């Protein structure tokens, strides 16, 4: 699906040929017309279950005040779409966004809405390296960052599929590979090592990214690290 801009005053909806035109809260978009498929890999199924279960929990378990707190948080958080235009996510969007990562990382779900009305800072130190011999991602980070000194917070790390060394652009597929847990008494030590998601060969290019997830389920934007696999 791609967001698009139509000439001022024009609106389009429906399908023609192989294209489908529509819009949502983030703007007009166009996508290829296709027959839906339903991949059933273990990772895809797990992520769908996280999202589905959190949406059910939002309506069935959270109190009115808890939902209102997430909505209040969402009202104060700016968001940009791919055109750089300012849009607003809903409280449910932020609740699922933060807690799905917490579930993926094996952390507990947080139902109470955040009282700090901002996104956590993205990791300002995040550098990765991979050795073909070790088949591990070595993650360099700063243990003075806020997430590192907070209990029940973490740095969630993701790895992109290896590609040829000349290919610069990359935007997936990604796999979650592990987390680095924060600790208010003894912050984690850098570097940390995490097993690769895909086997890597020397000189292959790999992109990794990390997001800080805080104890109140606020989730930062990502910081990326682009690297070449070493021997």
The whole-number mean pLDDT for each consecutive block of 10 residues of the chain, a chain of 231 residues, reads: 54 61 64 61 73 95 97 90 78 96 94 96 97 97 97 97 93 94 97 97 97 97 96 91
CB atoms within 10 A of CB 28: 17
β partners of residue 126 = 141
What does the alpha-carbon distance between residue 203 and residue 191 come to, in Å, rounded to a whole number? Answer: 22
- How high is the pLDDT of residue 6? 56
Question: What is the DSSP code (8-state) at residue 149?
Answer: G
Q: In what order do the strands lie in the sheet with 205-213?
A: 174-181, 154-160, 205-213, 223-228
Domains and CATH numbers, the chain: 2-32 (no CATH), 42-104 (no CATH), 126-228 (2.60.40)
pLDDT at 84: 73
C-alpha neighbours within 13 Å on the C-beta side of residue 55: 8
pTM (predicted TM-score) = 0.81
Q: How much is the pLDDT for 40?
A: 65
Q: Identify the pLDDT of residue 48.
A: 78
pLDDT on residue 15: 62
Question: How far are the Cα atoms of 87, 116, 123, 192, 221 from residue 72, in angstroms, in the given order?
Answer: 15, 11, 25, 36, 20
- Confidence at residue 173, expressed as pLDDT on a 0 to 100 scale: 93
């Amino acid at each position: 699906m791609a967001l698009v801009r139509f000439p001022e005053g024009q609106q389009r909806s429906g399908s023609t040929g192989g294209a489908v035109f529509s819009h949502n809260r983030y703007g007009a978009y166009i996508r290829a017309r296709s027959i839906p498929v339903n991949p059933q890999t273990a990772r895809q199924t797990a992520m769908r279950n996280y999202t589905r279960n959190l949406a059910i929990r939002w309506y069935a378990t959270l109190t009115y005040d808890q939902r209102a707190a997430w909505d209040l948080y969402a009202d104060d958080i700016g968001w940009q779409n791919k055109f750089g235009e300012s849009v607003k996510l809903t409280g449910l969007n932020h609740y699922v966004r933060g807690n799905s990562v917490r579930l993926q990382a094996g952390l507990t779900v947080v139902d109470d809405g955040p009282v700090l009305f901002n996104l956590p800072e993205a990791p300002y130190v995040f550098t990765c390296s991979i050795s073909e011999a070790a088949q591990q991602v070595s993650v360099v980070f700063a243990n003075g960052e806020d997430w590192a000194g907070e209990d029940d917070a973490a740095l969630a790390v993701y790895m992109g599929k290896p590609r040829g060394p000349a290919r610069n652009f990359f935007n997936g597929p990604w796999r979650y590979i592990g987390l680095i847990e924060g600790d208010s008494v003894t912050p984690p030590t850098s570097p940390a090592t995490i097993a690769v998601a895909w086997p890597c060969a020397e000189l292959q290019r790999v992109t990794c990214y990390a997001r800080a997830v805080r104890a109140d389920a606020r989730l930062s934007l990502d910081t990326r690290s682009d690297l070449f696999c070493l021997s």
